[in-house]
């Protein structure tokens, strides 16, 4: 059976760890060529090695890039097109959450700016250069390939709900990702470019576990989780795969929640 991403060229940011790494494994398993992008060079190289070893039949490469820098994002997109000949899927997933006391009274401007630069501006650069590349994709009906593509932007459940644990800059950046994704989805819908946000619930990845760094903090969060557990990164990757593939061909502009029921919970 052909993979759900067979012949597709994909690029994933934040691919050195967590959701990004699990998505790279899943995309490659489904037949995609994958360019893994991360600011952590050692992590992204190790991640690419792991993907390549497990899935030798697809092309896998790694590149170091800081998503908050436009030139680095453009270079990563150009590299994917050069290596794989086109670019069908971009998963703008890299993100940071500062462990500092991030509330309206205490957050330092430099933390606010850094968070916005990575989580919001980074997604903008990823969308901008993905759109430029996807417009040039040739159609090849025999392989199910077409002009345009699918862009997935990682937001968060905190983009939808107020978090009682202070993470103001993070929450604001993720809310803006939803708004920006919706607007870009409307503007580019007739070009065959779909844009959707994915909203993960709380996960067992370094990003959240470094923030909830005591059992008391973890347990406070667990009380609010309908399923009584943190999610696994691979459970978000499966949602990203759906949005990346043609299985979601009539979906654009959505806030796709993969959150164990959290955002439906009272």
Choice between 137 and 196, CB closer to ligand NAD = 196
Q: Which residues pair with 60 in a beta bridge?
A: 34
Of 201, 151, 203, residue with least CA distance to 177? 151
For this structure, is 7 an active site residue? no
Which residue, among 246, 251, 248, has the nearest Cα to 7 in the 3D structure? 246
Q: How far apart are CA 201 and CA 178, in angstroms?
A: 15
Q: Does 153 bind ligand NAD (CB under 6 A)?
A: no
Task: Tell me the closest approach of the beta carbon of residue 14 to ligand NAD, in angstroms.
Answer: 3
Assigned token pair, 180: 């920006």
Tell me which DSSP letter residue 140 carries.
B
Question: Residue 8 burial (CB < 10 Å; 0-12/13-18/19+)?
Answer: buried
> Which listed range, 80-88, 98-106, 161-169, 202-210, lies at the site for ligand NAD (CB under 6 A)?
202-210
Taking the complex as a whole, the smallest distance from the CB of residue 154 to ligand NAD amounts, in Å, to 4
Pick one of 51, 81, 111, 118: the residue that binds ligand NAD (CB under 6 A). Answer: 118
Nearer to ligand NAD, 8 or 174 (CB): 174
Q: Shortest approach of ligand NAD to residue 163 CB, angstroms? A: 11
Among 51, 87, 89, 96, binds ligand NAD (CB under 6 A): 96
Task: Tokens for 218, please give them.
Answer: 């973890």
- Least separation in angstroms between residue 26's CB and ligand NAD is 13
| Number of residues lying near ligand NAD (CB under 6 A) | 31
- Binding of residue 76 to ligand NAD (CB under 6 A): no
The catalytically annotated residue of 7, 170, 250, 266 is 170
Over its C-alpha atoms, the chain yields an Rg (Å, rounded) of 18
Distance (Å, rounded) from C-alpha 95 to C-alpha 119? 5
Sort 158 into a burial class: Cβ within 10 Å, 0-12 / 13-18 / 19+: buried
Per rule CB under 6 A, is residue 156 in the interface with ligand NAD? Answer: yes
Measured from the CB atom, the residue of 67 and 244 that comes closer to ligand NAD is: 67
Q: Of 33-72, which residues contact ligand NAD (CB under 6 A)?
A: 38-40, 43, 66-68
Q: Is 263 in the site for ligand NAD (CB under 6 A)?
A: no
Q: Interaction with ligand NAD in 217-246: which residues (CB under 6 A)?
A: 233
Strands ordered across the beta sheet of 255-258: 60-64, 33-38, 9-13, 89-92, 149-154, 193-200, 255-258
Angle value at C-alpha 31, between 249 and 181, nearest 5 degrees: 40
Q: Enumerate binding residues for ligand NAD (CB under 6 A).
A: 13-14, 16-20, 38-40, 43, 66-68, 93-97, 118, 122, 154, 156, 200, 202-203, 205-208, 233
Indicate which residues carry an active-site annotation: 170
């Amino acid at each position: 059976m052909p993979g759900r991403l067979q012949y597709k060229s994909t690029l994933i940011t934040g691919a050195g760890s967590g959701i990004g790494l699990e998505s790279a494994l899943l995309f490659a398993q489904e037949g995609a060529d994958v360019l893994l992008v991360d600011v952590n060079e050692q992590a992204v190289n190790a991640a690419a090695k792991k993907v390549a070893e497990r899935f030798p039949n697809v092309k896998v490469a790694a590149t170091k890039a800081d998503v908050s820098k436009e030139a680095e994002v453009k270079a990563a997109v150009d590299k994917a097109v050069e290596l794989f000949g086109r670019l069908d899927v971009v998963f703008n997933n890299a993100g940071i959450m500062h462990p500092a006391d991030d509330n309206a009274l205490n957050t330092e401007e430099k933390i606010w700016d850094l968070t916005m630069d990575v989580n919001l501006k980074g997604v903008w650069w990823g969308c901008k250069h993905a759109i430029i590349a996807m417009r040039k994709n040739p159609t090849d009906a025999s392989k199910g390939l077409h002009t345009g593509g699918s862009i997935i932007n990682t937001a968060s459940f905190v983009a939808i709900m107020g978090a009682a644990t202070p993470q103001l800059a993070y929450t604001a950046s993720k809310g803006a990702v939803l708004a920006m994704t919706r607007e870009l989805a409307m503007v580019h819908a007739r070009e065959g470019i779909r844009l959707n946000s994915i909203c993960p619930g709380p996960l067992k990845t370094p990003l959240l576990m470094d923030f909830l760094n005591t059992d008391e903090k973890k347990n406070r969060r667990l009380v609010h989780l309908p399923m009584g557990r943190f999610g696994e990164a691979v459970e978000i990757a499966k949602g990203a795969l759906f949005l990346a593939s043609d299985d979601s061909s009539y979906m654009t502009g959505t806030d796709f929640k993969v959150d164990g029921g959290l955002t439906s919970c009272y």
